[in-house]
Chains A and B, each alone.
Chain A
Amino acid sequence: MLEVYIIKRFPSFELNVQLKLGREVLALLGENGSGKSTTLKVIAGLVTPDEGYVRIGNTLAFHSELGINLPPQRRSIGFVFQELALFPHLNVYENIAFGLKVRGYSKAKVNEEVEAIMHTLGLAELRFHMPSELSGGQKQRVALARALVVKPKLLLMDEPFSALDQRTKQEVREEVRNILETFSIPAIIVTHDYEDAAILADRICVLSNGRIENSEPAGAPELFEVVST
């Protein structure tokens, strides 16, 4: 599904990540500054690596030697940002419809798709609300709906629960897990929280100082040691 081998050099840091993803949910676990968010942005085409390649499905999205570098628009990736980045000037409906509208779909088609996903994710009542009027969990669902409605091949989520308080977090995590199951879409979830990783992911990769240290099926207890040291 996804094959990544990338090197990106920073003044005091080198990101060197190699990973493969099947039809599964992978958690990319690591401390702040370990390079997890950058890895996601490289896959999405928002950051250009110095070397390597990114293959998404059958599409070569980036290849340094072949000079291939598809822009984010052509990578068919759903991205849920850490800040969620819901467009503050658009209401829930318009946020979700954004990706469909820019593809030039007819009004009827846009409406049909948006209504369907709002129904699935329990957002129908909120369609005219502005993002600033939503709770943390509702925002998260809108961000997911907006990313998923255009039917991407792969979903990337950057620290999806970092903005939530502990109580909301458990609830939202459960929701996200159900959504991932409903849509059965391959996904990479970046997190610094082992519990997030264990609950959501089929497999966990630990990223430390810009390198993948360990890749194990979720639930392997020794991983917790790796992260906490």
Chain B
Amino acid sequence: MNAFALIRTLAGIAVAGFILLPVASVLISAGGASPEVLLSYEVVAAVKLSLLTATLSTLLIVIIGTPVAYHLARSDSALRRFLEVALNLPMVLPPAVAGIALLAAFGREGILGRYLASIGIALPFTTTAVVIAQTFVALPLYVRSARAGFASVSRTFEGASYTLGASEFTTFLRVSLPLAKSAVLAGVIMSWARAMGEFGATIMFAGNFVGRTQTMPLAVYSALQVSMDKALVLAALLILISFIILFTFEIIPKRRYADA
């Protein structure tokens, strides 16, 4: 074995160990925690809230993100460039900044929030705020993936569909979407995972109230100050969920249709 190959092998082992050791440590330590911790009110509430909010925000993301992704893949309008920049922003912003930005917009004194408050709608520190924060940070991930999927569908298929009498919408549903399916599904999973893990924007904009806005990542942070056991159990649950997500992502058929 030459020196370079040795370095590569050692680096590989180091990286795997560096990532797997802390993860394994959480799982091992959490295994020692008492079962009551797992069923404690805070833990159960956090798991329920996380699953609910991440699923709701992913639904919202798919509903508003899919037409946007298709538009980005197909249009050359000025709107496209503008959207491009707007969509990249949440990905480079630190989550805490995203949280402040959401407060500045939708907070009680916010640019839009003060009008919402005047008609009796208060968003901050509600479960709705959690969904908004998750949507804000996870939307770009979905749009990027779905957009790449739509862009890879040859326009000739759409042209063929039009000449056969299908409207643009029917063509989208029956041709473009099925052909972009794996990228769209990948986007769904990535944005759901991002929403599950959201911390910074949520704690700033939605606060940290058990059962209302305390999602699993927030609960880990809170639990750490009281009981290491509880924090470990929550962390272990998040790791398991992440693992299931990654595994699902792996087994989605990455079907590439042969040019037909």
A interface residues (Cβ-Cβ under 8 A, vs B): 41, 44-46, 71-73, 75, 77-79, 81, 83-89, 98-99, 102-103, 130-132, 134, 139, 146-147, 150
Contacts and interface: CB of A to CB of B under 8 A. Distances in A.
Interface of B is mostly: helix
Given A83-B154, A85-B156, A87-B157, A78 B163 contact: yes
Nearest to A84: B260
B166 interface: yes
B259 A71 contact: no
B167 A73 contact: yes
Nearest to A103: B165
Contacts of A130: 260
Interface in B45-77: none
Contacts of A81: 156, 159-160
Interface of B: 154, 156-157, 159-167, 170, 174-175, 178-179, 257-260
A193 B96 CA distance: 65
A102 B165 contact: yes
B164 A85 contact: no
* From B161, B163, B175, residue with most partner A Cβ within 10 Å: B163
Contact of B162 (A71, A132, A139): A71
Given A46-B159, A81-B156, A83-B154, A150 B260 contact: no
Nearest to A99: B164
A49 to B, nearest CB: 16
A92 B175 CA distance: 15
11 contacts: A41-B159, A44-B159, A45-B162, A46-B162, A46-B163, A75-B163, A87-B157, A87-B175, A132-B257, A132-B258, A147-B163
